[in-house]
Structures are given as structure tokens and as C-alpha cells.
Amino acid sequence: MLKPRWMLWLALLLMAGAQAAPTVRVAVVGGLTLSGVWPRLASKASAATGLSIDTVAAAPKEGVIPAFSRGDADLLLIHGSDESFALLAAGLAAPLRAWAFNEHVLVGPANDPAQVASAGSGRAAMARIVAANAPLLAFRDPGSFSIAQALFRRAGVRPGPDQQLYDDAESPQAVLASAARQHAYAVVGHIPVALGKMPSHGLKVLLHGDPAMRRVYVLIEPGPAHPASAEQRQHARQLADYLLSPAGQADLRAADREAGGPWVFPLQAE
């Protein structure tokens, strides 16, 4: 006896529902999407793991950390920072795992009075800036500030008053407007300045490619105080494990090439 057509459609719908891929909701810091790396990597990750990846937030840390804390995201990709450790301390995050790096660069006036472009490294560039008493903006972003201070220490030099100029920009994205007004150098993220999120105001990227000027991205999974369900935690761990695996790191390298990088650097060298 033939079944009614509606019963056949119902059976097909039930089968489709049973085979639907589990979804992982991911929040990522904005540079990962601005560069084009994360959308490409998410597609590769979905194919490799069988997971459906929903990027629910892509914004500066002020936007993605609250999304994760509320339980809107099951996995957070962000820089290692005081804020990420605060999530761990609050029980919202599992132990952090390093995943990749982004790069900071030295930007400055086109006439390059300290000859930064030929310095060869961030450490040597900072030594030249101090020797020339050239102005340097102390960018208020903690990541850029910590990189600049580490380079001074590695160079064995102490910045003078002109290497600690005040950043009077109205927003972090306008920092180079402040640097341009003061004819100063600045340490900034490569992705936003190269891709127009941080207007250059006539300044040029003078030095890039120094591994000492990288910041680490971490994977943040739900901790005991996070509202994620057991199933959501399991799938977040599955995706995180893939991203850290040799296959995931190779896919990150491929996604970065496809996006016209280098923008995001795997932990594992080729």
C-alpha cells in the first residue's frame, strides 16, 4: 500500500533534520574577518570537521567579549590580553590555548628621518628612533604599547620624552591622524592600516615582517560559568582542536595566502 504524499515529505524532512550538521557559534576579533582569512578558514574548517560554523560576531574586543560572555558564542578567537585572562578568572573561559599570530608594523613620515625602512628589525628601528630623537606616538592600545616597550628593552635603549608622545585621537582607528599631526612614528596593527580600517593620513608602512612584532591569538572555549550546553561545549572543543591540529594550521596558511596575506601567521612553521 502506497503511503500518502505528505507522509513521504515528512519522512524526508525528518531524515534531513537528523543529518543536519551541528552548529558552532563563533565570535572573532575584527581583523580576522577584515583580512578575509577567517571566512576562508571557516569554510575549510566546516568541510574538514562536518560542523556548521556560524560567525555570530566579528568586531573589536569590546564587541566580541560581551557576545561570548552572554552565551551568544561558543568559541571566541581574540588576542591574548588582560581581558581574555579576566574571562578565565571569572570562570567564563576554559584554559586559553594559543592559536596564531598577527603582525604589527612601524608606520611613519614618508621622509623617514630615523631611516626606519632600512633598519631590518623592530629593535634596530627603535634604536634609530631614539638616536635621532625622532618623535614616536605611544599608541594607547595595550597591544601596540607592549610591543613598542619590548622593542626598546631588546634594543637596550630608553625612550625620551619625544618617544612617548600623547595619542590625542578621538578613537583607536584615528591614531595615525594624531601621529601625522605630530610628524611621528607609531606601532600599529598591519591589517587595519593596510586594508584602510585605520586611515594612514599620508604616513607609510616603513617596517614589517619582524616576528618580534607579532601578537598571539588565543582560542577561548566555554568555562564552567559559561551558559553553553554540554553539546555546544563538545562542538566548540572539536573546532578548537581542529584549528590547532597540523591540518588546521595548514588550512590557516592556505586561507591566508588566498586572502592575499601574510596577515595571520600559524603557530607551526612550514
Instruction: Give 178's contacts (C-beta < 8 A, 6+ positions apart).
Output: 137, 167, 168, 169, 184
CATH of span 103-213: 3.40.190.10
Q: pLDDT band for position 119 (50/70/90)?
A: very high
Q: What is the mean pLDDT of residues 49-54?
A: 98
Residue 55 pairs in a beta bridge with: 26
Asked if the model's pLDDT at residue 13 lies above 70, the reply is no
| 13: three-class secondary structure by DSSP | helix
CATH of span 22-94+221-266: 3.40.190.10
**Average pLDDT of the chain, as a whole number:** 92
Question: Mind listing the pLDDT tens digit for each residue in 210-219?
Answer: 999 999 999 9
**Where in 92-249 does DSSP place strands (E)?**
97-108, 136-137, 185-189, 204-207, 214-220
Side chain identity at residue 172, one-letter code: P
Phi–psi pair at 202, nearest 5 degrees? 90, -10
- DSSP letter (8 states) at residue 222: B
More confident: 126 or 270? 126
Burial class (CB in 10 A: 0-12, 13-18, 19+), 27: buried
In angstroms, the Cα distances linking 7 to 4, 16, 49 are 5, 14, 33
| Angle subtended by helix axes 61-70 and 82-89, to nearest 10 | 10
Asked if the model's pLDDT at residue 18 lies above 50, the reply is no
Per-domain residue ranges of the chain: 22-94+221-266, 103-213
C-alpha cell, 101: 599570530
Q: Give pLDDT, residue 108.
A: 97
CA distance 35 to 230: 32
Asked if the model's pLDDT at residue 104 lies above 60, the reply is yes
**Where in 6-111 does DSSP place strands (E)?**
23-29, 52-59, 75-79, 97-108
- DSSP letter (8 states) at residue 95: P
CB neighbourhood size of 45 (10 A): 24
Report the percent of the chain where pLDDT is more than 70: 92
